Amino acid sequence: MLDIFRTLLWRDITLAMRSRADLVANLFFFIIVVSLFPLGIGPEMATLRLIAPGVVWVAALLASMLALERIFAADYEDGTLEQMLLTPQPLALLILAKVAAHWLVTGVPLVLIAPVLGLQYNLSGEMLQVLIVTLLLGTPSLSLIGAIGAALTLGLRGGGVLNALLVMPLTIPVLIFGAGAVEATASGLGGIGHLYLLGAILLAALFFAPLAAAAALRISAE
């Protein structure tokens, strides 16, 4: 059980590393979106500081939606996915491995670059720490929920936009608690409650999302 998880995880990471340009493009998309906001809003530091958590979180959401399109696409095109559907191992576990790999190569870089972007917005050290923790807890949920949408829209024309349309409303709680934790820290209320809720969402997503995505994949790849 664990063997296949590890094998698939490594396989996906290796494959992703071979097409590094995609990953870099995704990361730069995130950076550019975050950097565009001050240009649109103005360089007033107080305002920027106020909107920073929301901006970083919305950008992270968009970037992970953009990246999700590819999570099953390559395997679907070359027929690997069909083989996966036929294996005796539970499909949900395979999906979990794929999502984990996907998060490691697309989500983690976002988390790592976020503090630098936070500095652009003049966030305090404490806020930066909370921002990283929320992103660490929240982006896996985004990947997990997004995997359901990616499985449903597999192989469809315009699947990327459609996937975003389906998934974004479902990710609103993650956005609210993610950005909310940073804001609550800034206002001195303490964001620990938000972090617990983010953790709870992550646990629920870890359990339910692979099952739903597995059901969706079986339908889409039939």
Between 4 and 211, whose beta carbon lies closer to another protein? 211
Instruction: Provide the CB-side half-sphere exposure for 150 (13 A, CA).
Output: 25
Query: Closest Cα to residue 102, out of 61, 57, 142, 156?
Result: 142
Question: What SS3 class is residue 4?
Answer: helix
**Contact pattern from residue 181 through residue 220 relative to another protein, giving x for each residue in contact according to CB under 8 A and a dash for the rest:** --xx------------x---x------x---x--xx--xx
Among 17, 36, 172, 192, binds another protein (CB under 8 A): 172
Q: Which of these ranges, 4-12, 73-81, 84-92, 148-156, lies near another protein under the rule CB under 8 A?
A: 148-156
Q: Are 55 and 121 in contact (CB under 8 A)?
A: yes
Instruction: Provide the CB-side half-sphere exposure for 207 (13 A, CA).
Output: 5
Among 81, 180, 182, 210, binds another protein (CB under 8 A): 180
* Beta-carbon count within 10 A of 90 CB: 14
Q: Segment 71-90, which members bind another protein (CB under 8 A)? A: none
Query: Closest Cα to residue 142, out of 111, 187, 188?
Result: 111
Closest distance of CB 127 from another protein, Å: 16
Q: Is the dihedral of CA 13, 15, 17, 22 positive or negative?
A: negative
Rounded to a whole number of angstroms, the CA Rg of the chain reads 18
Q: Verify binding: residue 134, another protein, rule CB under 8 A.
A: no
Q: Which of these ranges, 66-74, 124-132, 133-141, 164-172, lies near another protein under the rule CB under 8 A?
A: 164-172
Q: Which of these ranges, 7-15, 21-29, 77-85, 165-173, lies near another protein under the rule CB under 8 A?
A: 165-173
Question: What SS3 class is residue 189?
Answer: coil
| Interacting residues toward another protein by CB under 8 A | 148, 152-153, 156-159, 162, 165-166, 168-170, 172-173, 176-177, 180, 183-184, 197, 201, 208, 212, 215-216, 219-220, 222
